[in-house]
Amino acid sequence: MKTRILIADDHKIMRDGLKSILEKHPDIEVAGEASSGESALNLALESAFDLIIMDISMPGLNGIEAAKRIIENIPGQKILALSMHDDRGFLIKMLKAGACGYILKDCASDELIGAIRAVMKNALYISPALVDDVVRDYVNMASNTDISAFSILTHREREVLQGLSEGRSVKEIAYDLNVSVKTIETFRHKLEEKLNLHSIAELTKYAIREGITSL
């Protein structure tokens, strides 16, 4: 039986490249493509995929948030993060969102296939370039309290924060989320109070650092 894969990446050239690599393997089928986190979520809810290869930095709904929502709706769904970020912070956030693996975009095709095989066998796969840092991090963080944006902010607060940090107006965010402008303004004030940040610039820096949006 073929492994049905959904590729989620906002760059078509990246999706085409991945598809070309994967289609060389007769036991793998690229069963869907998504150009955004929203479309990845919708496709995952509409169709059954054995594995989702998820880019982290996508406009709108980012890969971390998309993975989190997919896992919430489809417990057990296998997600392999594919990222340009070799920062262990992004790795930790993606794993906490429910991903089963994390590889870098500059990896060799053999590593990609190996990661897919490992994840499909219910193993956790982490790019070798990040393993040492992860082990070191685990030792240092074992006794620390989780204070990331994904633990201190609600789902809606993260949505509003991402919209603000990506330069969308309050009116645009209100339209996207189907709420009033006043509601978005209230969320903005709550974000500033909760995070002790006092401008859009500071909120944007925080969102980038926490992996909620990208430059």
In order along its 215 residues, the chain shows pLDDT tens digits of: 889 999 999 999 999 999 999 999 999 999 999 999 999 999 999 999 999 999 998 888 899 999 999 999 999 999 999 988 777 788 888 988 999 999 998 888 899 999 999 999 988 898 887 876 666 665 565 445 455 666 688 889 999 999 998 888 999 999 999 999 999 999 999 998 888 888 888 888 888 888 888 65
Contact 54, 67 (CB under 8 A): yes
> In this predicted structure, what is the pLDDT of residue 79?
96
> In this predicted structure, what is the pLDDT of residue 215?
56
Q: CA angle at residue 209 from 98 to 198, to 5 degrees?
A: 125
Helix (H/G/I), strand (E/B), else coil: 23 = coil
Considering the segment(s) 3-133 as one domain, its CATH architecture is 3-Layer(aba) Sandwich (3.40)
Integer Cα distance of 158 and 37 in angstroms: 14
Residues paired with 30 in a beta bridge = 5
> In this predicted structure, what is the pLDDT of residue 143?
45
Considering the segment(s) 149-209 as one domain, its CATH architecture is Orthogonal Bundle (1.10)
Helix (H/G/I), strand (E/B), else coil: 67 = helix
Q: How much is the pTM? A: 0.68
> In this predicted structure, what is the pLDDT of residue 1?
82
**CATH 3.40.50.2300-classified regions of the chain:** 3-133
> In this predicted structure, what is the pLDDT of residue 200?
84
For residue 37, give both structure tokens.
């986190």
**CATH 1.10.10.10-classified regions of the chain:** 149-209
> In this predicted structure, what is the pLDDT of residue 115?
93
DSSP 79: E
**Half-sphere CA count of 130, side-chain side, radius 13 A:** 20
Residues paired with 79 in a beta bridge = 52
